[in-house]
Amino acid sequence: MAKLGYLPKEKLTDFLENLKKKYRIYVPCQDGDAVLFQPFDGEKPLCLDRPATVSPKSVIFPQTDILFSFDYRKSSEDPKQVSIELTENLDFPETVIFGSRPCDAKGFLIYDRPYTQTDMPDIYYKGRREKTTIITLACNYPSPGCFCTSVGGDPADKEGSDILMTDVGTGYFFEAVTAKGEEIVEDAVFEDGSSYQEKAQAAHKAVADLVKKPFDSTEGLPEKLLSLFENDAFWEAEAAKCISCGACTYLCPTCYCFNITDEQAGSKGERIRSWDACMFYHFTLEASGHNPRPLKQQRLKNRVGHKFSYYPKKYEGAIACCGCGRCIRSCPVSVDISEIVAHAQEYKDEPSK
Amino acid sequence: MTQKKLKEVVQKVLPDVDMVIGYRQGFDPVHATPFFVTRPEQIDELIWNPLCVHNLASYIPSLTTNKKVAVIVKGCDSRAINQYLQENLINRENLVVIGIPCSGVVSVSKVLKAVDHQIIESVSCENHAVTVKTSQGEKKLSVSDVSPDKCKTCLYPTPLVYDHLVGDPITSDKEPESVYDEVRSFEEKSLEDRFQFWKTELDRCIRCYACRNACPMCICQDRCIAESRDPHWVTQKTNQTEKFMYHMIHALHLAGRCVECEECTRVCPMEIPVAKIKKKINMEMDQLFDYKAGLNAEDTPPMYTFKVDEETIEEHEL
Amino acid sequence: MSVVAGKELRIVGFLCNWCSYGGADTAGVSRFKQPSDLRIIRVPCSGRVDPLFVVKALLNGADGVLVAGCHPNDCHYSEGNFYARRRLEMLKKFLSYMGIDDKRFHYTWVSASEGARWQQVVTDFTKQIHALGPLHQKEEAGD
């Protein structure tokens, strides 16, 4: 039986202050004109009325993650003898992501499959993931460009969250989804939430009807995209306006590719894992100088293909796109991945082209 | 109507080129998007209104090597074309320039702020105003209130280079001195305040390189030194040092080349005023070498040349 | 290279091989005393100095940067220092806009015979950097 709670809006800061005693909390804050997930300090104003500019993925998958530090030490007796001291820190604090959206929470589910559901789970990702609780805010209305309902999502989807919050006007209706969530909703600041459940459910349904549907279904999409693999003209047209930066990939809740580099100065250094973007030229650049994807249309084809074709084929149909629309909103030239998918769905081979 | 005339010009030009690059309606009412016209039936989708912010000249260098391309440019965009010609970066014979005199465009960022980030249901444009409809009602915004900073000091509303001109030339009513007002007022801050300002702004930077890739003059993109491992200018760390270093590289490599199209600020997903950095260098280029980028194809960028006697440079004393 | 704690600051010098390095050599041979904060990097010509060298040095731990070349019109490669003059002047005017004190960067022209002048330049510049103190823009921690 899921635990239900109601939190009046005036008590929100009290709740977060209480929570801060046990957890490190990340909340969406106004920073300049952007909204970013930052540690809660009670001073920066929260911004909950629109999705954050970047997804909260950096809480569990930091942009720069120091895997370990190393120090080359020369022995004073025999300078030819070198030893290496390695230090790593796998101590991850208990963390809460507060105010993410259902699409953001779904993003982590996409990560889970390649990072943890293998016989060699990623200890850095897994360590943080297990210590993180996600409190998701259901959407009041869709954002420009978003299309979660076309990729198996919903503005009030509980999957991937520990608690689902709904704005019911005077306060927030909290619905615990997991045991971790139930623990939090037990806080004394909550009132009984059961009377708000119906209102919340009605609101959820109303918003879901407003979400744009740029394409009908993802059924058969993996195969359809593969059939367009050799169609250079199709991808050249779709990628013509792309400028090949990394904005879409870096803001995306489901993009999970990384680089590992050793950054050394003198005898000390660190091995760092950092975000990589398949839209960059350097993504597939090989040490020989050869690049299998030198053209931006090949890279765009790969990005769309990975999300809607290769990943679903590997993981029983799961689409690696949560429909948040960030890539569309933040793209310098408004490349619209949902439009590309729609074009692919509708594409018919015309012999005269 | 300029939009109608534009379509007629494109109709005329399209048979002689492989593509015409213009604008069409984007994914939502307040966004336009670049549009590559290759077939006559696509011409009707072209638009021309204050939403057409993008600098389409950036596409030219990579395309004119082996394709014939026509591009629709505003005044600021045309400066990029002149700069390309100064630096020998494009094949002029493969380029047809369709110039449109522009009285200002809107910044999507500023429009969204003006309507409190409400969902925009529709936008209608006249030459000097946009009317934005949200669930809260209609709001009429004058273009000059929500335009990017560059429009407020625009000296070149009519393209400086073109093969076809769509519409009547517009003369600027702005004071030439006002172009660098923003730089001068920033310099009134203390050194510490200036550093804090950049520290706060650049802290949001995620090194997505949207600013670099959108810049018409940054043509090294795939070989940028900010990404090379050998020589190793910038590490993969995301601390203050690296963020400052990347932006200094970007700005200093544009010294005497930046055409002030402000695409960098527009495209930054984290809303960092990237163009502000380059404005200062541009002011120095103007004061030291009497040079503004992109005004005509015969100039030489100041960093490419020298004078034996520099009247404006004095030896520094300690 | 460790900094003698509290006594020395890190000053990086880019000296052109022909005139200014020669001038520094002359100062050394003549036994002119100078503070030892300055560590010299020899380049073929001041025109080799990319303004970004100065920026990278300042952002990554240097407290001051000095660039020295041949006098204009005397460049060993004829024109190198003309380009250097333009670039470095631009950089000098730009640094303070980003919040970095432009007194931490100095460029000058020293010929191979000007040993005494070199001693003066180094002493004065080191004094200037000490007056400004260490530069705190050295962040080590990642995100």
d(CA A231, nearest CA chain C) in Å: 42
| Domain co-membership, B17 together with B162 | yes
**Whether residues A116 and A174 fall in one domain:** yes
- Position B221 scores a pLDDT of 85
In a domain, A266, yes or no: no
- Of residues A254, A205, A235, the one with CA closest to residue A55: A254
| Confidence grade of residue B169 (pLDDT, cut at 50, 70, 90) | very high
User: Total structural domains in chain A?
Assistant: 2
A107 with A26, same domain: the answer is yes
- Percent of chain A scoring above 90 in pLDDT: 86
Backbone angles phi and psi of B22, in degrees to 5 = -140, -150
Residue in this structure with the two tokens 């604008």, named with its chain if needed: B23
Q: Provide the pLDDT confidence category of residue C4 given band limits of 50, 70 and 90.
A: low
Question: Among candidates A98, A96, A91, which has minimal Cα distance to A23?
Answer: A96
| A352 has a pLDDT exceeding 50 | no
Highest mean pLDDT among A2-6, A41-45, A164-168: A164-168
What residues contact residue A244 under an 8 Å CB cut-off, 6+ apart? A279, A280, A281, A296, A299, B213, B221
Pairwise CB contact (< 8 Å): A34 & B237: no
pLDDT in tens, A273-290: 999 999 999 999 999 999
What's the domain count of chain B?
2
Residue A290, pLDDT score: 96
**pLDDT tens track for C7-36:** 889 999 999 999 999 999 999 999 999 999
Domain shared by B24 and B88, yes or no: yes
Give the domain-ending residue among B84, B115, B146.
B146
Q: At what angle do helices A296-305 and A337-346 cross, to 10 degrees?
A: 80
Q: Cα separation of B190 and B196, whole Å?
A: 10
Helices first, then strands: H and E counts in chain A: 13, 12
The Cα A322–Cα A300 span in angstroms is: 18
Query: Looking at CA atoms only, how far is residue C110 from chain A in angstroms?
Result: 32
Q: Say if CB B148 and CB B105 are below 8 A apart.
A: yes
Out of A200-209, B114-123, C40-49, give the one with best mean pLDDT: C40-49
Asked if A220 and A236 sit in the same domain, the reply is yes
The verdict on a CB contact (< 8 Å) between C143 and A62 is yes
Query: Does residue B165 sit within a domain?
Result: yes
Q: Compute CA B157 distance to the chain's CA centroid, rounded to the nearest angstrom.
A: 13
Instruction: Tell whether B157 and B112 lie within a shared domain.
Output: no
In whole angstroms, give the CA distance from residue C133 to residue C103: 11
**Whether residue B237 sits in one domain with residue B128:** no
Q: Which two tokens stand for residue A58?
A: 């950096």
Residue range A139-168: mean pLDDT, rounded:
93
Half-sphere exposure of A314 (CA within 13 A, CB side): 12
What residues of chain C have any CB closer than 8 angstroms to a CB in chain A? 142-143
- Residue A268 forms part of a structural domain: no
Contact B107, B31 (CB under 8 A): no
What distance in Å separates the CA atoms of residue C94 and residue C74, rounded to the nearest whole number?
27
Domain that holds residue A224: 214-260+276-353
| pTM, rounded to two decimals | 0.94
Q: CA of C138, closest CA in chain B: separation in Å? A: 7
In terms of domains, do A198 and A234 share one? no
By the CB < 8 Å criterion, does A334 face chain B?
Answer: yes
| B50 and B170 both lie in a single domain | yes
Residues 48-107 of A with CB under 8 A from C: 58, 62-64, 66
Residues B73 and B194 in one domain: yes
C-alpha to C-alpha distances, C142 to A66, A262, A273, B226, C75, nearest whole angstrom: 8, 13, 11, 18, 43
Burial label, C7 (beta-carbon count in 10 A; 0-12, 13-18, 19+):
exposed
Amino acid at A206: A
What are the residues whose beta carbons fall under 8 Å from the beta carbon of A224, sequence distance 6 or more? A344, A345, A347
Residue A52 lies in a domain: yes
Which band of pLDDT confidence, cut at 50, 70 and 90, is reported for residue A322? very high
Q: Which residue of A has its CA nearest to B221?
A: A281
How high does pLDDT run on average in chain A? 93
Q: Enumerate the residues of chain C whose CB falls inside 8 A of the CB of residue A270.
A: 142
Nearest CA in chain B to A330: B269
Structural domain range at position B272: 2-105+147-304
**CB contact, 8 Å: B220 with chain C?**
no
What is the rounded average pLDDT of the residues A219-237? Answer: 94
Q: What pLDDT, on a 0 to 100 scale, did the predictor assign at position C1? A: 44
Q: Model confidence at A85, in pLDDT bands (50, 70, 90)?
A: very high
Task: Compare CB distances from C59 to B194, B241, B308 and report the shortest one's residue.
Answer: B241
Q: Is residue B300 part of a domain?
A: yes
Whether B131 is in a domain gets the answer yes
User: Of A158, A138, A107, A160, which Cα lies nearest the Cα of A211?
Assistant: A138
Res. A126: pLDDT tops 60: yes
* C-beta separation of C36 from C8 below 8 A: yes
A144–B contact, CB cutoff 8 A? yes
The answer to whether A42 and A217 have CB atoms below 8 angstroms apart is no
Do the domain assignments include residue A119? Answer: yes
Distance CA A25, CA A39 (A): 6
Q: Among A4-8, A349-353, B278-282, B297-301, name the one with the lowest average pLDDT.
A: A349-353
Angle at A36 between CA A32 and CA A41, to 5 degrees: 90
B187 vs C: CB within 8 A: yes
H helices of chain A, in order, are 12-20, 57-60, 102-116, 123-130, 179-185, 197-210, 221-227, 232-239, 247-251, 296-305, 311-314, 326-330, 337-346
For residue C141, the chain B residues in CB contact (below 8 A) are 239
CA pair distance C99, B277, nearest whole angstrom:
11
Touching subunits for chain B (3+ Cβ pairs under 8 A): A, C
A163 and A223 assigned to the same domain? no
pLDDT for residue C140: 37
What does DSSP assign to residue C105?
E
What residues contact A118, with CB distance under 8 A and at least 6 apart? none
CA nearest to B111, candidates B132, B135, B129, B128: B132
The tens digit of pLDDT for each residue in B23-45 reads 999 999 999 999 999 999 999 99
Q: Are residues B125 and B258 in the same domain?
A: no
CATH number attached to the domain at C11-132? 3.40.50
Query: Using the beta-carbon criterion (under 8 Å), do A272 and C142 form an inter-chain contact?
Result: yes
pLDDT category of residue C6 using cuts at 50, 70 and 90: low
B67 and B158 part of one domain: yes
Residues B114, B169 share a domain: no
Q: Do B183 and C92 touch (CB under 8 A)?
A: no
B114 with B65, same domain: the answer is no
Residue A74 lies in a domain: no
**Which of C51, C56, C101 is the closest to B191 by Cβ?**
C101
C141 confidence band (pLDDT: 50, 70, 90): very low
**Residue A269 belongs to a domain:** no
Establish whether the linkage from the previous residue to B273 is cis, with ω within 30° of 0: no
Statement to judge: residues B85 and B225 lie in one domain: yes
List, for residues B193-220, the tens digit of each pLDDT value. 999 999 999 999 999 999 999 999 999 9
A29 touches chain B (CB under 8 A): no
What's the ipTM? 0.93
Residues of C in contact with B313 (CB under 8 A): 85-86, 89
Could you give the CA distance from residue B290 to residue C125 in angstroms, rounded to a whole number? 31
Q: Give the pLDDT score at B1.
A: 80
pLDDT in tens, C74-94: 999 999 999 999 999 999 999
Q: Burial of A255 by CB count in 10 Å (0-12 exposed, 13-18 middle, 19+ buried)? A: buried
Task: Mark yes or no for CB contact A270/C142 under 8 Å.
Answer: yes
Whether residues A165 and A204 fall in one domain: yes
Tell whether A41 and A140 lie within a shared domain: yes
pLDDT of residue C82: 96
Q: What is the pLDDT of residue C142?
A: 33
Half-sphere exposure of A127 (CA within 13 A, CB side): 11
Q: Does A270 touch chain C (CB under 8 A)?
A: yes
pLDDT beyond 70 at A87: yes
A315 plus A178 within the same structural domain:
no
- Least Cα distance to B164 among B6, B2, B50 occurs for B6
The pLDDT tens digits for C90-124 are 999 999 999 999 999 999 999 999 999 999 999 99
State which of B146, B175, B206 marks the end of a domain: B146
State how far residue B275 is from chain C, nearest Cα, in angstroms: 13
User: A105 and A20 in one domain?
Assistant: yes
More confident residue, C136 or B262: B262
Specify whether A45 is located in the same domain as A137: yes
Element (H, E) at B63: helix B60-63
Paired sense of beta strands A132-137 and A163-167, if any: parallel
Yes or no, beta carbons of B308 and C141 under 8 Å apart: no
Instruction: Note whether B122 and B69 are same-domain residues.
Output: no
Q: Do residues B101 and B167 lie in contact, with contact meaning Cβ atoms separated by under 8 Å? A: yes
The nearest CA of chain A is from the CA of B160 a distance in Å of 24
For residue range C33-68, list pLDDT tens digits in order.
Answer: 999 999 999 999 999 999 999 999 999 999 999 999
State the pairing for strand pair B164-165/A258-265: unpaired
Domain boundaries, chain C: 11-132
Do the domain assignments include residue A253? yes
Looking at residue B113, its amino acid is K
| Amino acid sitting at position B176 | P
- Which residue from A297, A191, A305, A173 is spatially nearest to A239, judged by alpha carbons? A297
Query: What integer best gives the mean pLDDT of chain B?
Result: 94
Question: B317 lies in a domain?
Answer: no
- Within 8 A by CB and 6+ apart from A103, the residues are A51, A146, A148, A153, A157, A253, A322, A323, A324
User: CA separation (Å) from A31 to A24, A106, A247, A329, B164?
Assistant: 19, 25, 18, 18, 44
Query: CB-side exposure of B267: number of CA atoms within 13 Å?
Result: 29
Closest-CA residue to B156 (of B60, B79, B263): B79
> Do A294 and A350 belong to one domain?
yes
pLDDT of B126: 83
Contacts of A272 in chain C (CB under 8 A): 142
DSSP H or E stretch at residue C51: helix C51-59
Q: Which sign does the torsion angle of CA C27, C31, C34, C38 carry?
A: positive
A164 with A98, same domain: the answer is yes
Helices and strands (DSSP H and E) totals, chain B: 11, 8
